[in-house]
Structure formats: structure tokens, C-alpha cells
Amino acid sequence: MKTPLTPLDLVRRGLKTYPQRTAVRQPGGPSFTYREWGERIYRLARAVAAAVPAEARVAVLSPNTHEGLLAYAGVPWSGRVLVPLNTRLVPEEYAFQLRHARVSLVLADSSLAPKVEQTCRDLGLPLWVMGEGTDFEARLGAHDPSPLPYAVTDEDSILTINYTSGTTSSPKGVMLTHRNSMLNAVETLYYLHFGGDSVYLHTLPDFHANGWGGVWSPFGVGATHVTLPQVRGDAIHEAVHTYGVTHLAAAPTVLSMITDPLTARPAPRHVRVATAGSPPHARTIADMSALGFEVIQVYGLTETSPLITVAELSDAEKALPTPERAALIARQGFEMLLAGEVEVMTPELAPVPADGQTLGEILVRGNLVMHGYLDNPEATARAFEGGWFRTGDVAVRHPDGRIEIRDRNKDVIISGGENISSVEIEGVLYAHPAVREAVVVAQPDEKWGEVPCAFVALHAGQAATSEELTAHVREHLAGYKAPKHYVFRDELPKTASGKFQKFLLRGELWAGRGRGVN
């Protein structure tokens, strides 16, 4: 009687149980009941199955639209693997990911299709363009809308391949299974308190680790999804008021949009907000609370499906003054219900004492840890060394058991919720003829949490300005990865063996702050 664990089963339950409820709405666009949404899933699944072989990889490049959301159910429903693409990359980056994942079909929103059209031609990939004025609806209409069982027989088979910036020059494809994602989706329902009257606003990009499970989980309880293609403060408030939004997830930069005095207005209903990427400031929490938004910090990585800890507060702690409450919310907190074991450990794999001082690395083992990195056994082996998944985040454990990140030993910068590989930027800077040495580290930023800062040494007799280097980086990488600041030096600090001492450079930028990471 065993059936595979898959988040598609949450979608299946919603389609079966709540056919007359509203499933998906889009501001200025269409609205679909659960029955209508099911018909669209079945049509897309049959269309994909007719176009590419079983277990083929299908990429989706879309903002938070109803068509993009459909792909998260329709593609895996057909037994194919979904490859979500970051909407902010450049053609060179898309070409790498499409080749590396061996994608067979690309679904792209009409606003983003120009970014991949030439790449698709070069790789011989079919491109289905979605959105108003395209033939996507006609393509769906050509297929049967009758109920279709989802084609999942093995819960350990790959559901999605999500690309994340790592410490190498190329991003890694994180393989998440149906089992990984189902357990994460159930956790999302539990910790955010979703119910049948919930309305979930898609402010977090759905390509970010599958929207932290939000592309599937609310369907399970008959909640309504509101897709938001353009995330702006005024658009968020308009959606909250028009549709009675109760839940959303967002990077801290979006919280700043919500509290912007120019557009802010009190929510008509209590709204629970999950945030991650950098700890929310006391001022932000107070401003959000005054507008009717309850902020909950969560923590995780794409490799852990993604969420593994939550800054859970007791009723007494919720009643604390905002500065004291904010200090607790700023910690990564406790392991989630289905996260497995989340420990802070020494290099010898011994748990650190709960003294709030002793540093260790956050290690995880459990059902949410990825299957591995696509076609990268060396990186997978390193990540799983010692029988634990190594997050690369350095933390302490407080006497009350809460985990708090203090630093990173990965060269990853998290800016506005986006992972940026410092090594990737350095590789592009080294390609500039004037650059002799380049080191990129995180610099604190009030708006984005962190931004890339490049320390650069030029070849003798060469000259280059910050503007020239930024233009060079933007030719090869997405604009948000370009350093926001440059520091030119004759020499950069190195160890006796010639290794750059990034901690010294980062220390210059973070002087006077209690934490070396936002």
C-alpha cells in the first residue's frame, strides 16, 4: 500500500477536494477554480509528454505568473524533471545551465523569451513562449483536459534541478527529489499556519528553491495562490487589499518595499511573512508589525529543499518589546519538524557547547538534504563529507538551543535573497586585460543586506576604472552580480603560500559590526 511521497499529491488533493474554490488569481489577469486549474495541469502534462521523452528535463523561465506556476505541477505530472531558471541571468549563463542539465524543452514567458531564443536555436531546443499574445493557450487547448494520474512511481526520483551559485566558477545543479520536496512542503504548511481560507501571495521568486515549497504546498489545503509578476511595494499592498492576502514569503529587501512610507498601508487581515537571507532589523519588524504583518525568519539552502530552521518564539517571547523580540527573530533558531538533525559542530564532528560563543559549522542530515549535485560527484562528496551535509555557515548555539550564524566559510554573498558566487565574479574580472589580481567579498548594505565589493590590483602600466570593470562584468554575468564597489590596491593580502586572505579584506568592510554576515 506504499505510495510515493511527492508534493504533487498535495496538488492532487486540492484538485479533488476543493473543485469550486479559487485556486489561482493574477492581478489584471485570469482567475481559475481548482477544477479549471486541474484541467490546465492535465493539458500541460499531456502536451509535454507528447513533446519530449519520459524523464527528460524541461526548463521554465518565468516571473511569478500563472503560466509559470502551472509548470511546477504540469511538467513533473508528466514524469519529466523541471529545471527552474533564474530570471535575472544573461544569455551566456542560460546557455551553460541548459547544456549542463541536458534540457530537452524550454518554457519561457514572453517577457523573458528574448534572453534564450538564440541559445535555444544554437542548442536545437524547442521553445514554448507563454503569456498574452502567444500560442500557449492554443497549445494547451489541443490536449485532453480529463483527469490524469501523475507519473511518479519513485519518491527518490528527481523532481527539480535548481541551480545555485557555489564556490566554483560555474553554478551547481542541485537535484531535489519528490521526497525532499514533499516533506519541505508539509513543513511550510505547518510553520506558516496555512488553512483553507489562506491566500498566498507569490512575492518570493518561484525559481528560488521552488518558492520554498510555496509552488505546491498551499494547494493541499485548498488555499488561493495570487501570482505577482512584478514585485513592487504598491503592487504588494494592492494585492493584499484586493485579495485578502494572509501569507507571503520574501527576502528582506521586499520587507523594505512593504514598509516604504510612500506606499505602505495597514493590511486588512493578519499576514504571516516568512523571510530569509539576512536577519530582519528591529525597525523593520516594528514597521511590519504596525502594518499587520507578522515576520518569521527561516533558514536553509537550496541543497536542503530549502528550509531547515525557524526562529520560533514562545507566547512569552512574542510579547517582549520589539528590540528584544527582534534579537530572537534575528537568530536562525531551531531545527524544523522534518529537517532531521541540524547541528553546530567542530571540525572533529563534535557538537559545540551551547554557550553562544564557540564557533562551529552548521551540519545537516535528514530527509530534506538533496540527492546530490548534477554530474558533479566531487562536489557532492565534499558536501557530504563525514556523513553530514556541510552548509558552510559558521554559527554558535545559544544556551536556549537557538542557532545563530556568525560567518560563512563559503565564498557566497547573499544579496537581496540572491546567492552570488564571489569566485564566479573573480573569474570574470581576471579576464579583463588590466586586472592582475581580484578578490571579491561581501560588503554590508542597508538595502540589500550584502553586496559584492571587489578588491583589485592592476598590471603595471595598465589602467581601468570602476565603470569599465562593471561594464566588463555585465557582459558576462547578470547585473546584480556586478560589484557595487571597487577598491584598487597595489597588492592584496596573501598567506605565505600565496592564498588570498579574504577575511582581512572583509574585516575592513565589516569593522564595528558584531556579525560578519547579513
Q: Band of the pLDDT at 499, cuts 50, 70, 90?
A: low
Sorted by sequence, the CB contacts under 8 Å of residue 51 that are 6+ apart come out as 105, 126
- For the 341-407 domain, the top CATH level (class) is mainly beta
Least confident of 93-102, 109-118, 370-379, 391-400: 391-400
Instruction: Quote the strand ranges of 171-326, DSSP E.
Output: 172-177, 199-202, 224-227, 247-250, 271-275, 293-300, 307-310
SS3 395: strand
How does DSSP classify residue 113? G
Q: What is the mean pLDDT of residues 417-441?
A: 86
**pLDDT at residue 166, rounded to an integer:** 46
8-state DSSP, 481: G
pTM: 0.86
The span from the CA of 208 to the CA of 274, in Å, is 14
Which segments of the chain belong to CATH 2.30.38.10?
A: 341-407
Q: Report pLDDT for 419.
A: 77
Q: What is the CA radius of gyration of the chain?
A: 23
Q: For residue 89, give the nearest of 207, 248, 2, 200 by alpha carbon.
A: 207
Write out the three cell numbers for 332.
536562525
Give the least confident one: 56-60, 158-162, 402-406.
Answer: 402-406
Q: Is the pLDDT of residue 167 over 50?
A: no
pLDDT at position 253 = 78
Task: Identify which has the larger pLDDT, 171 or 196.
Answer: 196
In the chain, the percentage of residues whose pLDDT exceeds 90 is: 78
All CATH 3.30.300.30 domain ranges of the chain, comma separated, are 412-509
Question: What pLDDT was estimated at residue 497?
Answer: 45
Give the range among 162-166, 291-295, 371-375 with minimum mean pLDDT: 162-166
Mean pLDDT of the residues in the chain: 93
Strands 307-310 and 224-227, sheet pairing: unpaired
> Quick one: average pLDDT of 157-169?
78
Alpha carbons within 13 A on the beta-carbon side of 155 = 14
Q: How many percent of the chain have pLDDT more than 70? A: 96
> Cα(333)–Cα(395) distance, rounded to whole angstroms?
11
Q: What is the DSSP letter of 130?
A: E
Class of domain 412-509: alpha beta
